[in-house]
């Protein structure tokens, strides 16, 4: 990992979610990439007869193993634990011991060790770290399309992969003395006509900045207008609408990539592109409106100002949606 309290993220393309199929692809990839990993990291690893299964070696609590004695595909163990069997009753028990340092002396490499599943930050040369919340759609867009990361070999399309590849993203997020959760995300990824990463990034950014952000802003302004009783000037430091905008973001997270791939597939056809964008904006408006109308009936407002505040809130909400998401209201 890039640090002791970092996360360990992995991502790969596969033909299916079946574990057997994924394992076969992974083993094949490792065999194909071994020479390339050794060449790229020749100053770190043992070219042959390196240690691979670290729990089979004695562990001095004061010293860490050097990378130079390890196989490039070594499997790490992070705690000093040994299993024993009771001679009298056959019960299995564990013995544990603390250590003063990590099993492997690799802190200086900040997670950049040729792992076939790990994306590397180009600017920092560090392994990707994912925090609490996992693979939010904005983070996935950044990883896959921004160009800020060297994508791992596991993400490359291999011979035998189908036209529709399943992207599996997973991470175990570490906390101090424990974990903050295992996060996984499966994406049905096509190989669209917009194949270049910069084209896909531009498309995704447009969906987020032009559409998502405005839908969330409309919801927030509409609800703040209601909550504050229709004031002449809104107090944007008021956090009471944030719960509802977060709920909208969760809904967007569920539908984002379906609409994204639909638009990427027709990127060179203006009419089809407009139709796909229209479907996307309509989905945003429908989800925002459902939450808005539910919130209007629930948020606390003084009874004497409720009707006026509601009318102003609806005008503000609808006005922003019509202005910034016009395709959702078009006839075609």
> What is the mean predicted confidence (pLDDT) over 183-205?
80
Cα distances (Å, whole numbers) of residue 146 to 51, 117, 191, 208, 302: 37, 18, 17, 13, 47
| pLDDT(194) > 60 | no
- Residue 299: which of 215, 214, 235, 242 has the closest Cα? 242
Question: In this structure, are residues 212 and 284 in contact, taking their beta carbons and an 8 Å threshold?
Answer: yes
- 24 vs 178, which has greater pLDDT? 24
What is the per-residue pLDDT across 146-169, written as a single tens digit (0 to 9) for each?
999 998 888 876 665 555 677 888
Residue 186 confidence (pLDDT): 86
What's the pTM? 0.85
Query: How far is residue 299 from each of residues 243, 244, 312, 317, measured CA to CA in Å?
Result: 11, 11, 15, 16
Q: Which DSSP string corresponds to 264-280?
A: HHTTT-HHHHHHHHHHH
pLDDT tens digits, one per residue of 93-117: 999 888 888 889 998 999 899 988 8
pLDDT at 155: 80
Dihedral, CA of residue 60, residue 62, residue 66 and residue 71, to nearest 10: 30
Whole-angstrom distance, CA of residue 21 vs CA of residue 217? 44
pLDDT value at residue 117: 86
Please give the pLDDT value at position 162.
Answer: 57
Nearest to 107 by CA among 121, 127, 128: 127
Strand, helix or coil for residue 302: coil
C-alpha dihedral, 59 to 61 to 63 to 66, nearest 10°: 40
Least confident piece of the model among 19-33, 36-50, 233-247, 306-320: 19-33
Contact of 20 with 147, CB cutoff 8 Å: no
pLDDT at 2: 62
| Inter-residue contact 191 to 158 (CB < 8 Å) | no
CA distance 6 to 320: 41
Tell me: pLDDT of 136 over 80. Answer: yes
Work out the angle between the directed axes of helices 242-265 and 213-227 (0-180°, nearest 10): 160
Q: Quote the pLDDT of residue 196.
A: 80
For the chain, strand residue ranges (E) read 8-14, 51-53, 65-66, 70-75, 80-85, 92-97, 104-105, 120-121, 126-127, 149-150, 164-175, 178-190
Q: Evaluate if residue 279 carries a pLDDT over 80.
A: yes
Q: Judge whether 309 and 229 are in contact, CB under 8 Å.
A: yes
Mean pLDDT score of the chain:
88
pLDDT at residue 192 in the model: 57
What's the average model confidence in pLDDT over 8-13? 66
Chain Cα centroid distance, residue 38: 29
Alpha helices in 165-241 (DSSP H): 197-206, 213-227
Find, among 162, 185, 321, the residue nearest to 256 by Cα. 185
- Spatial separation of the C-alpha atoms in residues 316 and 228, rounded to whole Å: 13
126, pLDDT greater than 70? yes
């Amino acid at each position: 990992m890039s640090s002791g309290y970092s996360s360990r993220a992995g991502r790969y393309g596969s033909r299916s979610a079946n574990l057997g199929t994924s394992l076969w692809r992974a083993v094949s990839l490792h065999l194909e990439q071994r020479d390339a990993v050794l060449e790229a990291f020749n100053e770190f690893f043992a070219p042959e007869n390196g240690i691979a299964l670290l729990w089979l070696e004695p562990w001095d609590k004061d010293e860490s193993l050097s990378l130079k004695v390890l196989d490039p595909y070594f499997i790490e163990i992070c705690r000093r634990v040994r299993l024993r069997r009771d001679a009298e009753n056959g019960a299995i028990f564990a013995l544990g011991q603390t250590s003063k340092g990590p099993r492997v002396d690799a802190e200086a490499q900040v997670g950049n060790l040729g792992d076939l599943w790990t994306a590397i930050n180009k600017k920092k040369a560090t392994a990707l770290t994912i925090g609490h919340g996992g693979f939010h759609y904005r983070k996935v867009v950044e990883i896959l399309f921004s160009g800020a990361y060297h994508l791992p070999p596991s993400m490359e399309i291999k011979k035998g992969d189908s036209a529709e590849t399943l992207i599996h993203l997973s991470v175990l997020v570490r906390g101090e003395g424990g974990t903050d959760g295992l996060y996984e995300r499966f994406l049905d990824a096509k190989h669209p006509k917009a194949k270049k990463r910069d084209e896909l990034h531009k498309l995704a950014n447009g969906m987020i900045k032009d559409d998502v952000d405005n839908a969330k802003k409309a919801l927030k302004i509409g609800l703040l207008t209601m909550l504050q009783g229709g004031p002449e000037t809104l107090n944007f430091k008021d956090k009471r609408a944030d719960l509802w905008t977060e709920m909208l973001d969760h809904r967007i997270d569920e539908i984002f990539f379906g609409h994204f791939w639909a638009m990427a597939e027709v990127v060179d056809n203006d009419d089809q592109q407009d139709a796909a964008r229209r479907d996307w904006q309509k989905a945003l408006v429908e989800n925002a409106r459902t939450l808005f109308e539910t919130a209007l009936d629930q948020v606390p407002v003084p009874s004497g100002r409720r009707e006026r505040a509601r009318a102003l809130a609806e005008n503000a909400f609808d006005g922003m949606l019509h202005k910034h998401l016009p395709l959702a209201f078009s006839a075609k």
